[in-house]
Amino acid sequence: MVSKSKEKKQQRKEMFAKLGAAQQLLSKANVPDKDHMETLVPFKKYNRNGTDLVIQCVHYEQIDKETFEAIYRILEDNMKAEYDACYWGWNERDKRDEMKEKNPWFLIARNSEQQIVAFAHFKFDFDEEIAVLYCYEVQVTEDMRGKGVGKFLMQILELIGAKSEMQKIMITVFKHNPRAVHFFQDILKYTDDETSPKFMDPMDEKEYCYEIMSKALKVKKASGS
Ligand SMILES: CC(C)(COP(=O)(O)OP(=O)(O)OC[C@H]1O[C@@H](n2cnc3c(N)ncnc32)[C@H](O)[C@@H]1OP(=O)(O)O)[C@@H](O)C(=O)NCCC(=O)NCCS
């Protein structure tokens, strides 16, 4: 009896230590003026396949209204129909709130005319007691697709996640978006996450329209940053 309660106490202690360590990493990553691309200078430019882009990584607090609106427009153009094709539907207010709340970060790609042509929206957050980089969106304008931009943005996110010592990178993908499923599954080698409805609720597969996919990150201890 005694040893069992000691064992439980020890387990609780370990769990709190783990949560505390994850919280510390999240607090460190979520400093709004932190430059997550400070040591990723070569990734601030992308000029393959006829493109000439500059990429920056910023916290929501660092972007102006015009930038936010441009990002929101790309999201709506790309995704409204996808949302409307599932029971979630498109809800402008919810989407805008999601992009503003709880420490949202953005990778923003601009062309030589300063127009935003692609972006990623992500958060450093808890998922089931571990610290993760959750990618809420990766969006490329239609005319810029198939030029490697989406892949490049995801590569940057993986590097940022690893440098921030996040354990994995996660994303929600609509099952009825075959290009996105192909992109994450076959090109980027993501697999269905253990928290995906596929595993949590296998009997009701027809009831949900999305999967949660993830990839483990090779944690790189930050050097003094
Ligand atoms: C999914 C998306 C982000 C991919 O970005 P992208 O810049 O078009 O993709 P890339 O050019 O980086 O292509 C990466 C790979 O996908 C392949 N690919 C690109 N376009 C493709 C298409 N239409 N059909 C099949 N494969 C395609 C490329 O061949 C490339 O593979 P390779 O590296 O082996 O050559 C982009 O299509 C998009 O913004 N779609 C709308 C929004 C969306 O669905 N977002 C994802 C959910 S959050």
23-47 burial code (b ≥16 CB/10 A, e <16): eebbeebbeeebebbeebeebeebe
Ligand 1 atom with least separation from CA of 177 = 44
Q: Is 107 in the pocket of ligand 1 (CB under 6 A)?
A: no
Q: What is the pLDDT of residues 169-184, one digit of tens each?
A: 999 999 999 999 999 9
Asked if residues 149 and 53 have their Cβ atoms less than 8 Å apart, the reply is: yes
**Centroid of ligand 1 to alpha carbon of 145 (angstroms):** 6
Nearest residue by C-alpha to atom 25 in ligand 1: 179
State mean pLDDT over 105-112.
98
Q: Ligand 1: which of 179, 182, 184, 186 to mutate, most ligand atoms within 8 Å of CB?
A: 179
Q: Is 181 in the pocket of ligand 1 (CB under 6 A)?
A: no
Per-residue model confidence (pLDDT) at position 224: 43
Please report, rounded to a whole number, the percentage of residues in the chain having pLDDT higher than 70.
96
Per-residue model confidence (pLDDT) at position 221: 62
Nearest residue by C-alpha to atom 48 in ligand 1: 137
Domains of the chain are: 2-216 (3.40.630.30)
Per-residue model confidence (pLDDT) at position 198: 83
* Residue 225 scores a pLDDT above 50: no
What tokens were used for 94?
């919810």
Q: What is the DSSP string of 75-120?
A: HHHHHHHHHHTSTT---HHHHHHHTTSSS-EEEEEE-TT--EEEEE
Per-residue model confidence (pLDDT) at position 107: 98
Average pLDDT, the chain: 93
**Centroid of ligand 1 to alpha carbon of 98 (angstroms):** 24
pLDDT band for position 208 (50/70/90)? confident
Q: Is 9 in the pocket of ligand 1 (CB under 6 A)?
A: no
Per-residue model confidence (pLDDT) at position 177: 93
Q: Is 145 in the pocket of ligand 1 (CB under 6 A)?
A: yes
pLDDT band for position 203 (50/70/90)? confident
Low-confidence winner among 14-23, 28-37, 40-49, 132-141 (lowest mean pLDDT): 14-23
Asked if residues 191 and 214 have their Cβ atoms less than 8 Å apart, the reply is: yes
Q: Is 100 in the pocket of ligand 1 (CB under 6 A)?
A: no
* Residue 89 scores a pLDDT above 90: yes
Ligand 1 atom with least separation from CA of 174 = 47
State mean pLDDT over 3-23.
90
